[in-house]
Structure 1
């Protein structure tokens, strides 16, 4: 199957909006004592919660991820690969750059603590540098489940996401009905929606690839868009759910923690819109300039995903701590006008960061090629891979919820967990009978990748393949 440029476009568009959305809602305020605060925009300016309807773009990641993963697993399986080998290769391509990024941030935390950096400031910065991490454990778990999910898809097709959607909707209603005083059991049941809600979109990616959503022209996408939109409107209008599609401190009910019935409806609507406009966008993507822009964003998407909050820290130190930045009243017309140069300056700094990281990226590509598991992974090596993946997911889940410096302290267990998990997954024996059975790794990437990995990592960037609760922090995506 030839490369679908539209899948690449969805991936590039999604990463662009994630970066811009995070930057837009990050507003810094210099206190009289010279320290910085980052008020939570969606809490301080409640009307901005409507903006999340446009910036909550994560369904496109999972849709593109399912589209790519379905074909990649089918090719690997048909060539004799095992589930452990396929999952291990994908996990390695995500965890290696993530572990390097995390290691560098944790090194900075470890240095700043003894130097006397204010614990509250350290906690806020540590959280900001990990705000995007919620996506990784969810995506890694869905990747691990792909062989099973794809087998269900091959047998029952569209009925699988329908059943998952009904179950996810029911869990969302249960969480909402339990109210703010919900029990630990309800919280645990609600957490299942991280897999059910995002799994619906991932599963729809399988269906899209196999033509089940586009076989009747635009009628099915239109039905998804209109139906999902109507259900969302009913749930956030007279219904109990807030309009904001990211967590807002103090809200009794969130659409993302855990994913709610309203988020499920919006995700379905977003999938419908994406598929409905696909023919028009594919036509525009025939232009060389458009292809080049998508290719550039795709090549650097993993770096953008991991490192895009570093420019905020650089600009904060250069302009806000020094008092050079003008500071109109938070939320005023002047403040909003300054959002434009704020975004431009951050974009310029990020371009420099991406350029500076290129040697590290190239080195990581070489390391990943050397350590990625064999596609035919079996026996003790397979069990070691699953153990490493499990430990890594637990560590990433901690970072996603608490940041890199919760309470201003160094997170020793989580740091050891991510390091150990990545090492277990990367350790491999030479001489296996299969290595990248999907032909060649580069050939995998040439088919289009997925939402985070290039057909494994091309999702968030592989040059070969192409998310404080103290009221002064903010939550994203």
Structure 2
């Protein structure tokens, strides 16, 4: 099966919308003490919660991820590869740039704490730089489960996401009934896993060749969401709002599941038209760079906010109309444009870092895959990484204005072990042999692009 440009478009589109959504709802103002505050727009101006219906686009990223992972794992199996080797390389591709980002942010947190930066300010900045991390542990878990999930897909096809959705609804009902909240943690894998599993089905043509099945998914999911919001206990916001209970994202709720199904259906309905659009080379030249920089965009997109806060708000040159007023909304467009320009500069500065990370990955790929003993190390290292990333996602890089010693250590150890196990060529003194004929290598290059 050839490369599907529409899948690349979905990944790029999802990341760009997430970035723009975060920028749009982020507002800065001076506090009574002269410091910078970031009021929560969705809580302060409740009608803006409806905007999350357009900006909560991550179901499509999991859909595209499942589509790509299904093809990648099939090629790995055909080439005689192992599950541990494939999972390890996928994890490293995610963890290497995440480790570089986290290391630099933690270094800045350590320096700021050492020179006596106000704990509240440090905590706020640390949270802003980690607010996107919820996605990483979920995607790592789904990647690690891919060989099992794909085996189930080969045997039962679309019945697998249906069963996962049913279990997710049961788990949500348990949480809604006030039972142990840890049951809801299952839905991080189950709800987002439904979209991921539908990616397998989409790739294998199991969602119908016409418009009937996509239309049913879109209409059924949309109607389900509307009923759950109108008649049930769920809010309309698809992004976490402080003090709002229940939440559609923490953990993912039945309403989020319905919205994910609706998005998948809508995505398949518009696929033919968008494929024709991205088949034009002029359009593809715009899409491909955005897709290639998607991980960098996702990790670093709050840095421009901090840059503008320091350059314009701390100096007092930025206008500060009433939060949520008409003038405030009118200034959102120049705000987005300025942040976009700063982000372009960040991407340019980080380009050598991206190349270095890619070079480390390609060098490490040479050598034999992990043996049985090292496979256990891989799973333990992945568990440590997932726990550390989850901790950052919940509490930020500077909880209560302090350096997070244990999560930082957990991520460092997890990343080091995953890299050493999955990339045995890292310790080799010989240059890696060319791997142009290796299907896994081809997959790595395509995803990097």
TM-score interval, normalised by the smaller of the two chains: over 0.9
* Residue 353 of structure 1, aligned match among 316, 321, 346: 346
Residues 72, 444 of structure 1: 8 Å contact kept: yes
| Structure-1 residue corresponding to 2:206 | 212
Match status 1:189 vs 2:188:
no
Per the TM alignment, residue 172 of structure 1 is displaced from its structure 2 partner at its CA by 1.5
Which structure shows the bigger proportion of residues in helix conformation?
2
CA distance in 1, matches of 2:93, 2:275: 28
Match status 1:423 vs 2:403:
no
Per the TM alignment, residue 442 of structure 1 is displaced from its structure 2 partner at its CA by 4.5
Per the TM alignment, residue 403 of structure 1 is displaced from its structure 2 partner at its CA by 0.4
Residues 374, 436 of structure 1: 8 Å contact kept: no
CA distance in 2, matches of 1:373, 1:392: 24
Residues 137, 396 of structure 1: 8 Å contact kept: yes
Residues 226-245 of structure 1 deviation map (CA, whole Å, 9 limit, x = unaligned):
00001100000011100000
Match status 1:198 vs 2:187:
no
| TM-score normalised by the chain length of structure 2 | 0.95
Residue aligned with 2:320, SS: coil
| TM-score normalised by the chain length of structure 1 | 0.90
Residue aligned with 2:2, SS: coil
Match status 1:138 vs 2:131:
no
Residues 436-461 of structure 1 deviation map (CA, whole Å, 9 limit, x = unaligned):
89825441146x6xxxxx2xxxxxxx
Structure 1 runs of 4+ with >6 Å offset: 434-438
* Residue 365 of structure 1, aligned match among 338, 351, 358: 358
Q: Any gaps of 5 or more consecutive residues in structure 2?
A: none
Residues 415-438 of structure 1 deviation map (CA, whole Å, 9 limit, x = unaligned):
00000000001114458xx99898
| Structure-1 residue corresponding to 2:299 | 306
Residues 178-229 of structure 1 deviation map (CA, whole Å, 9 limit, x = unaligned):
2xxxx5xx211111000110111100000000000133x0110000000000
Match status 1:404 vs 2:397:
yes
Q: Any gaps of 5 or more consecutive residues in structure 1?
A: 449-453, 455-461, 467-477
CA distance 1:356–1:437, shift in 2 (3 Å): closer
Structure with the bigger RCO (C-alpha within 8 Å, sep 6+) is 1
Residues 386-426 of structure 1 deviation map (CA, whole Å, 9 limit, x = unaligned):
12111111100100111000000000000000000000011
Residues 319-358 of structure 1 deviation map (CA, whole Å, 9 limit, x = unaligned):
0000000000001000000101100000000000000011
CA distance in 2, matches of 1:329, 1:345: 20
CA distance in 1, matches of 2:369, 2:69: 17
CA distance in 2, matches of 1:369, 1:77: 20
| Structure-2 residue corresponding to 1:268 | 261
* Residue 376 of structure 2, aligned match among 383, 386, 389: 383
Residue aligned with 2:410, SS: helix
- Aligned pair count? 443
Per the TM alignment, residue 371 of structure 1 is displaced from its structure 2 partner at its CA by 2.7
Matches within 5 A, 1:48-87: 48-87=48-87
Residues 197, 259 of structure 1: 8 Å contact kept: yes
Per the TM alignment, residue 288 of structure 1 is displaced from its structure 2 partner at its CA by 1.6
